[in-house]
Amino acid sequence: DNGTTLSKFGCQMRFNLRKTFPLLTTKKVFWLGVVEEIIHFMGGSTNLKEEGTNHIWDSDEAEEYLDSQELSKLSHVINKIKHNPIMFPACNPFDLNLSVSPCQTLAQFYVANSELSCQIYQSSAEVSLQLPFSIAAYSLLTCVIAHVCDLVAGECIHVIGEAYVNKADVETIQQQLQISPKPFPILKIHPEKTKIESFEASDLELVQI
């Protein structure tokens, strides 16, 4: 507690991706924004501010950062993913020149029994708005990679260094906790899509149970 926030250090959540998709049902999550961000990421595109509605990377410094990481090499990761656990850096936490503050530090993919799981380490996460988006984004990435690798999506394991809430949001969060959650939806992926860079938003559909 620094006066304006409440925080907890060292948190872990596990989400089963085998049958359902972990999109929060007790509040509205911007699903289209999740899809757009992951599609751009999978295609190696950095032109989010012109092509999409997501503004996480709206700065020249962030665009240069994404270019330097050569996100198009995700296809190289996919080629190896059937043989070895893959440690895939999602950002450089030591780059202090960014006008945004990166929080997704790295993701590790793991294959066992024809299932693909992902463990994401996030150095910090705002619980009310940012965290539900991150859970959905990395779960979607895991499901799509599993699909193109002809694997079954297993788990998305989300590890957070510092989980925090703003004190101004506490009352809203308490109200949200009174809402009974509905069953998670099911993710439908276009069966004919086999290349990671070929996906469009219409290829990814959530179906309510």
Give the active site residues.
103
DSSP string, the chain: --SSEEEEEEEEEEEE-SS-----SSS---HHHHHHHHHHHHHT---HHHHSS--TT-SHHHHHHHHHHTGGGHHHHHHHTTTS-EEEE---TT-TT-SS---EEEEEEEEETTEEEEEEEEEEEETTTHHHHHHHHHHHHHHHHHHHTT-EEEEEEEEEEEEEEEGGGHHHHHHHHTSPPPPP-EEEE-TT---GGG--GGGEEEE--
